[in-house]
Chains A and B, each alone.
Chain A
Amino acid sequence: MKKGRNYSLNIASSTAISRHRREIAQAVAASVSGCLGNAAYFGLLLFLLAFAADVRAQESPYIVTYDHYLEEPGNLELEYFSTFGTQRAGNDFHAFWIEFEYGATAWWTTEAYFDGQTTFGDSTIFTGFRWENRFRLLQQEHFVNPVLYVEYEQTSGADKILKEVEGHDVESDYAVPNAIARQEHDHELETKLLLSKNFNGWNVAENTIATKNMTGGNPWEFGYAIGASRPLGLKASAQRCNFCPENFIAGVEMYGGLGDRYSFGLHDTSHYLAPVVAWNLPSDWTIRLSPGFGLNDNSHRFLLRWGVSREFSGLGEMISRWFGGGQ
């Protein structure tokens, strides 16, 4: 029998823990444990994850750029991303992060990230965490849809996930050995204005970034990310299928730094152009892939990014019931 693609997504069904889900929770626990050496902090989240029902996601293919769509209320999306980067005058690296994205309301999404990296020939280290919030500013769809993004980051100087590029971030910053780079501790406030629009199946998004490192007297730094994407098929097919064109969304994104408050502009900045593709599988997984190419001498020549994610529904509902909300 084909896997019941949750037409019974009600709460009763969400309490039935599938072996599949338990495997995911175990894999994530192992991964987080490897990063932090202590999985206890995430026990609650993993427990919730194991009990939540799964739901089909329609994820955008962007890895750096954000569109204006937030997480559906009460849903938790668990994501893993990797960035492999080449490094001139240093060792190549593989940076990775785990992301817990929760739809608190239809206009507010909150996310926690935990980052790490391996520099080949050097070491593997945990590099910090981020807490991100996105707020939808207008209730309905408009010609352009704005979303306010506010993030707090506590990372070390060895952070290499390149989640965004800002200020005068250049390739040589990443050549410092981990033992030295990790001694720098950054507390950053990052804000973005996300603008996005859909037309004729296309999505076009533009993000303006302003970041302030609150340690020391660092100036505000600026950056940008733009992206365009479109599903390969606009109509849904009546049958479930892995390779239907509507399951694939392809596009391109470009991102880079714009200097800082004292030296705004393109001087000493790095920029990337990256085709992106997302494959939304009927089995509720989304796979993303993006080869990125540095556009100037300050950029890494090549970045290969990939990620897997899965969305789980019913988390908010379950918490609510625990506190007597469902009675």
Chain B
Amino acid sequence: MTLLRDMEMSARKKRLLRVRKLQKSGISLILILGSALAFARSKGEKHEKQENVYAELGKAPKKAVRRSNPLQDDPQAVAAGGKLFGDHCAECHGEMAEGGRKAPSLLADPVQQATPGTLFWLLSNGVVRRGMPDWSKLPEPQRWQLVSYIKSLSPAGTPPDGGTRSPAKNPAKANE
């Protein structure tokens, strides 16, 4: 009987030890994830300090700059691009591409005056060290659709209808 009880006690102790080990592992994991989050935060602050965020556009190779948009005459391209913009870009660049804490405005002159090829190059390569992922995971035609949409936006300071973007200018919204 005593032997049985001892065995039972030892099994219970082992179980308790295992649970404690698990608890420790869980806490360590949360601490590690916490540091990752904190690191991400400090990276976010750095973004704000970047002054010339549009300088990356100037780094596009000449060959890329000269590329023209193969979907330029596609009547659906802007609408589809608007949908893609809402899905993947609005989170950082703002619902109306006006810019946000994490990413600059796409209505600004440097973007609107850039060639379609330059925008396509930037989308495909991202600006990884400044927090913009590369979007080459989207197939090439979808990136050109995004370029079509971005180029369809009015430059900053000249909203098409006195401040509110019309559904026609944000076709993704019109599709809702």
Contacts and interface: CB of A to CB of B under 8 A. Distances in A.
A208 interface: no
A45 B139 CA distance: 33
B37 A316 contact: yes
Interface string B19-41: 00011011101101100111111
A140 B134 contact: yes
A254 B96 CA distance: 43
A296 interface: no
B interface, size bucket: 35 or more
A314 interface: yes
Contacts of B71: 235
A-side binding surface: helix, strand, loop or mixed?
loop
Contacts of A215: none
Contacts of B102: 73-74, 317
Contacts of A314: 91
Contact of A235 (B87, B141, B171, B175): B141
Of B30, B124, B173, most buried by chain A (CB within 10 Å of CB) is B30
Interface in A96-147: 100, 102-108, 110, 112, 129, 131, 136, 139-141
Given A106-B131, A323-B41, A10 B94 contact: yes
Given A56-B88, A131-B32, A316-B37, A236 B142 contact: yes
Interface string A72-110: 111000000000000000000000000010111111101
Interface of B: 22-23, 25-27, 29-30, 32-33, 36-41, 43-45, 71, 76, 79-81, 83-84, 86-88, 90-91, 94-95, 100-102, 124-134, 136-142, 145, 170-173, 175-176
Interface of A: 2, 4-10, 36, 38, 41, 44-45, 53, 55-56, 58, 60, 67, 69-70, 72-74, 100, 102-108, 110, 112, 129, 131, 136, 139-141, 154, 198, 200-201, 203, 231, 234-240, 246, 313-317, 319-320, 323, 325-326
List the 10 shortest-distance A-B pairs measured between CB atoms, nearest first. A238-B79, A56-B87, A41-B26, A234-B139, A320-B41, A140-B125, A236-B80, A235-B141, A316-B40, A9-B91
26 contacts: A2-B176, A4-B176, A10-B100, A38-B23, A56-B86, A72-B133, A73-B43, A103-B133, A104-B37, A106-B129, A106-B131, A112-B29, A112-B33, A131-B29, A200-B140, A231-B139, A234-B140, A236-B145, A238-B76, A238-B79, A238-B80, A238-B83, A238-B175, A313-B91, A316-B44, A320-B45
